């Protein structure tokens, strides 16, 4: 049986504060229809695809921002997307802010099958930015204030393959892809909102596109999986977000990439069987990996320079020799 999936990376342009959910869902439905016309089995939307990237603002009372969160999925505003997807027979991946019935807030993505049935849900693990209001920044990045972290990376049997999800900052961490890869992941879906300006170190601004390609491509290659990275791009409320949504093959090669900062669909034929070219050879995990040498990966979070190294570098007075 063919395991070639036609996948659309459905980048969106900016979503402004004044845009309603209905406005946004209309744009997503238009992209979905383009995907259907292009023969897509699956259309991948960005992180927090229903609203502006609200963690760029501080509010004293977090509850004042609960209106950015979805309390049901689908809800009345998002049901047209689900209905159209089922009518067209196209599955989709969608990022949104989730508020659970018991009051928990997550940065979430869902996967929906071609018949409209739910295939999986993921809550973002790596929450970037800061907890407190930092007025020196041009804009805030308060994901650590508005969201709780999710508890892990799962894969799902969907679209005839093994599919995983991650969200934005997760894509910068090799552990994300490896934990998915260790579960046989053949395609990772990753939405993002990446400000081009990085206030703690502006020297990284010109490298944003390079770093995006670097992590998507290395994650794909080192784990023998397809990676679909999809941006919300363009200038959103004065903050420029990176585009360059890409579909990357298990070889690490880019098979499709957006060239605008607006709503744009790019499509690639993704042969899931190509994963075995890498998973069964150079990256045959069970044959080559040495988990006994990797204890630090799960045993510690921060850097711990071994004592013998510290003392070799320090003079008796505790200062460095050179």
* Positions marked catalytic: 47, 124, 168
- Give the list of residues 6+ apart from residue 244 with CB closer than 8 angstroms, or none: 209, 212, 213, 231, 233, 257, 258
Torsion of CA 63, 64, 67, 71, to 10 degrees: 10
CB of 195 vs ligand CDT, minimal distance in Å: 6
Per-residue burial over 10-30, b if 16 or more Cβ lie within 10 Å, else e, is: bbbbbbeeebebeebbebbbe
Report yes or no: 222 and 209 within 8 Å, Cβ to Cβ. no
Question: Taking contact as CB under 6 A, which single stretch among the options 4-12, 58-66, 110-118, 165-173 is the one that binds ligand CDT?
Answer: 165-173
The pattern of x and - marking residues 276 through 315 that bind ligand CDT according to CB under 6 A reads: ----------------------------------------
Lateral strand order in the sheet of 187-192: 155-158, 161-167, 187-192, 226-231, 246-248, 254-257
What is the size of the binding site for ligand CDT (CB under 6 A)? 11
Report yes or no: 9 and 45 within 8 Å, Cβ to Cβ. no
Q: Does 194 bind ligand CDT (CB under 6 A)?
A: yes
Q: Does 193 bind ligand CDT (CB under 6 A)?
A: yes
Q: Does 168 bind ligand CDT (CB under 6 A)?
A: yes
CB of 62 vs ligand CDT, minimal distance in Å: 18
Q: Does 198 bind ligand CDT (CB under 6 A)?
A: yes
What does the block give as tokens for 245? 């949504």
Among 11, 51, 52, 169, binds ligand CDT (CB under 6 A): 169
Residues 173-192 within binding reach of ligand CDT (CB under 6 A): 192
Residues 14-73 within binding reach of ligand CDT (CB under 6 A): 47
Among 80, 116, 118, 128, binds ligand CDT (CB under 6 A): 128
Looking at residue 12, the DSSP 8-state letter turns out to be B
């Amino acid at each position: 049986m063919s395991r070639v999936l036609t996948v659309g990376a459905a980048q969106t342009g900016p979503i402004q504060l004044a845009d309603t959910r209905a406005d946004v869902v209309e744009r997503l439905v238009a992209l979905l229809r383009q995907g259907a016309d292009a023969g897509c089995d699956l259309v991948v939307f960005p992180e927090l695809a229903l609203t502006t990237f609200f963690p760029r603002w501080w509010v004293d009372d977090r509850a004042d921002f609960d209106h950015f969160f979805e309390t049901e999925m689908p809800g009345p505003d998002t049901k047209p997307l689900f209905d159209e997807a089922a009518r067209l027979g196209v599955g989709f991946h969608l990022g949104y802010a989730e508020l659970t019935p018991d009051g928990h807030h997550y940065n979430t993505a869902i996967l929906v099958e071609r018949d409209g049935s739910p295939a999986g849900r993921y809550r973002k693990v790596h929450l970037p930015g800061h907890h407190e209001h930092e007025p020196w920044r041009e804009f805030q990045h308060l994901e650590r204030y508005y969201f709780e972290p999710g508890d892990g990376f799962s894969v799902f049997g969907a679209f005839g393959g093994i599919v995983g999800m991650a969200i934005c900052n997760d894509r910068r961490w090799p552990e994300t892809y490896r934990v998915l890869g260790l579960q046989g992941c053949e395609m990772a879906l990753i939405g993002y909102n990446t400000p081009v300006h990085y206030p703690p170190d502006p020297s990284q601004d010109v490298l944003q596109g390079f770093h995006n390609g670097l992590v998507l491509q290395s994650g794909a290659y080192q784990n023998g999986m397809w990676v679909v990275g999809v941006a919300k791009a363009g200038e959103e409320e004065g903050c420029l977000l990176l585009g360059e949504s890409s579909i990357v093959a298990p070889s690490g090669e880019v098979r499709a990439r957006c060239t605008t900062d607006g709503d744009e669909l790019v499509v690639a034929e993704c042969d899931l069987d190509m994963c075995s070219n890498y998973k069964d050879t150079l990256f045959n995990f069970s044959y080559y990996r040495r988990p006994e040498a990797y204890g630090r990966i799960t045993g510690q979070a921060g850097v711990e320079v071994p004592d013998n190294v510290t003392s070799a570098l320090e003079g008796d007075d505790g200062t460095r020799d050179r």
